[in-house]
Structure 1
């Protein structure tokens, strides 16, 4: 099954963020049994060449890969998908209109994704236009990240937008947007519940990052199915700290 099919089926999926633009780390993480990898081009220094190299490594390792783009601008979506990403995680989707524009930008059609048959996604010219457009429509995942007060006000309409495959809760930015002091603030938790309810009502899968891995089970019970937990930075730090402690140092 493709990543798009697994998300649509509500399969429980576990992935992580890559913050270091290094193909070797993609290869390492591909051996960890994760379901997908998200290249964080929003908050880490991924230029187009780095995105291309890391997607190449992920595809070679048969690891589904999505890109959290810098913005939901057409050119950022186009870059990730032409390089061969399975999909995009789009930050700061604040309204149904923005969700519709982003979904259109990720797919071919009027006002949508620009076509190039020479890209990795199109097999460097081996796929004909019709075949590539069909394959792209069947494979491309579009995930709307919900992390703003404006998005909460329009969440039912966002969740209902055709072409949005899943919602993703940006809990930390929601904490900031709601002027709370903790992601466990009741207002933040209520916002997460509201997003989950919108997803359930429209049959739209919901994913999230949660601050503590132990909380994943709780949110799975509430209906979340896609979790991007931690990052290569966090794993490096935790591993080094654990080794120091294990050595009694």
Structure 2
């Protein structure tokens, strides 16, 4: 557990754009407890995984409230990449969103627009994300809009062969803060390509070169921070690195204790 003063979760985007190394994890159990644990031990952010887990909106709201209470930045990987999903998560207090399967510059543009007020199309609303009006200060509603836009962080997932083909156009879009390389789905997508296709390693390098060449931030997940994979991601330029998930941590811990039990009983 870290003993240093915790950064304000609302400074996450500033830290990300400054290329500070940031650690997070996917959370799949639909409830606040895992968020509280990860926040209490010092993780920079948590990603509530609506895409691959049975979170309801009420449960996501509780998870985001727990993130706020425990000083970590709460994000949601949305299951539906549309304006309504992004709006609801930001209104419910998410620092930002991760959007899967961003395969074109138009989709990247739409996501960026849906997530921001000024220059975008985010609907006006002041709920938990705006401290129920408490953040509408001397600058009035326009000041609140500007402040919210400065905080909101958007991750676009690059996880399709089609996205790799169009990566230069995608990373040129303003308003996407970081690009997450979804290597599991990307490998699957590449394997389904008819005809010649890059290997997964070649695709990862192409994406990383394009993202970093455009001055953008690169993100990825690794199963273990002590693995060769984690070092490979660091070496390719990843500064936002996620490790596994709450389910993965629980399974690994339970397997370890099962092994200790079997050794103990044989002794």
Q: How does 1:1-249 map to 2 (within 5 A)?
A: 2-109=11-118, 112-117=121-126, 119-128=127-136, 129-179=141-191, 187-213=199-225, 214=227, 215-247=229-261, 248=263
Q: TM-score, normalised by structure 1?
A: 0.93
Deviation digits for residues 143-198 of structure 1, max 9, x if unmatched? 11001111111101111111000100000000110117xxxx97011111111000
Alpha-carbon shift at residue 110 of structure 1 (Å): 5.8
**Aligned partners of 1:131 and 1:62: how far apart in 2?**
24
Pairwise CA RMSD? 1.7
**Aligned partners of 1:13 and 1:238: how far apart in 2?**
23
Q: TM-score, normalised by structure 2?
A: 0.87
Deviation digits for residues 24-43 of structure 1, max 9, x if unmatched? 22111212321110000111
Aligned length: 244
Alpha-carbon shift at residue 127 of structure 1 (Å): 3.0
Flag the structure with larger Rg. 2
Would the aligned equivalents of 1:159 and 1:204 in 2 still touch at CA under 8 Å?
yes
**Aligned partners of 1:110 and 1:6: how far apart in 2?**
23
Deviation digits for residues 34-86 of structure 1, max 9, x if unmatched? 11100001111111111111000000111111110112200110111001111
Would the aligned equivalents of 2:42 and 2:72 in 1 still touch at CA under 8 Å?
no
Would the aligned equivalents of 1:17 and 1:228 in 2 still touch at CA under 8 Å?
yes
Alpha-carbon shift at residue 209 of structure 1 (Å): 1.6
- Show structure 1 runs of 5+ residues with no match: none
Alpha-carbon shift at residue 109 of structure 1 (Å): 3.7
**Aligned partners of 2:39 and 2:76: how far apart in 1?**
16
**After TM superposition, which residue ranges in structure 1, 4 or more long, deviate above 4 angstroms?**
none
**Aligned partners of 1:88 and 1:178: how far apart in 2?**
25
Would the aligned equivalents of 1:171 and 1:210 in 2 still touch at CA under 8 Å?
no
